């Protein structure tokens, strides 16, 4: 496995992506559609977390990238906002409506909500996954 990348390299790779997300979220020259921004940001994070190697990262690079993303979020959404708050929002009724308005596919919504469950309630998610595993064995005892 590759060595973790430097903070400088991480910034060089991801700051253009993070700036592009802000540009894609603009509804006017100085106004950002916060719903669109949260969806785009959560989508980038989901893809990187699920397959860091495809982004040229190691698992050790995820924490510094998380910090970099939080730095950008606070600059766009406010100091009290971070990646966890974005997923909390997407997991709410207004977030559900935002995803509907954005016309996300069901698979896209499922991906974001799956990751939200991992981030917002890791213990509950772990129990849920264990229950699914037990149910699977009960349904198919030959396994």
Q: List pLDDT tens digits, range 54-72.
A: 989 999 999 999 999 999 9
pLDDT at 143 over 50: no
User: Which pLDDT does position 28 carry in this prediction?
Assistant: 82
pLDDT at 46 over 80: yes
Mean pLDDT of 41-55: 93
Residue 47: name the closest of 77, 17, 74 by CA. 17
DSSP character string of 22-43: HHHHEEETTEE-HHHHHHHHHH
Residue 4: name the closest of 118, 13, 41 by CA. 13
Q: List pLDDT tens digits, range 4-40.
A: 789 999 999 999 999 999 999 998 878 999 999 999 9
Tell me the two tokens of residue 77.
């959404």
Q: List pLDDT tens digits, range 92-127.
A: 999 999 999 999 999 999 999 989 988 988 676 566
């Amino acid at each position: 496995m590759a060595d973790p990348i430097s903070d400088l390299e991480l910034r060089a790779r991801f700051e253009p992506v993070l700036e592009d997300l802000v540009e894609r979220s603009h509804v006017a020259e100085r106004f950002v559609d916060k719903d669109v921004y949260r969806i785009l940001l959560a989508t980038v994070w989901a893809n990187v977390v699920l397959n860091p190697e495809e982004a040229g990262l190691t698992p050790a690079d995820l924490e510094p990238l998380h910090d970099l993303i939080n730095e950008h979020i606070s600059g766009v959404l406010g100091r009290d906002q971070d990646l966890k708050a974005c997923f909390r929002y997407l997991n709410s009724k207004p977030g559900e409506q935002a995803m509907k308005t954005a016309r996300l596919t069901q698979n896209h919504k499922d991906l974001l909500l799956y990751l939200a469950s991992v981030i917002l309630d890791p213990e509950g998610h772990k129990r849920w996954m264990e229950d699914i595993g037990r149910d699977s064995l009960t349904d198919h005892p030959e396994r």
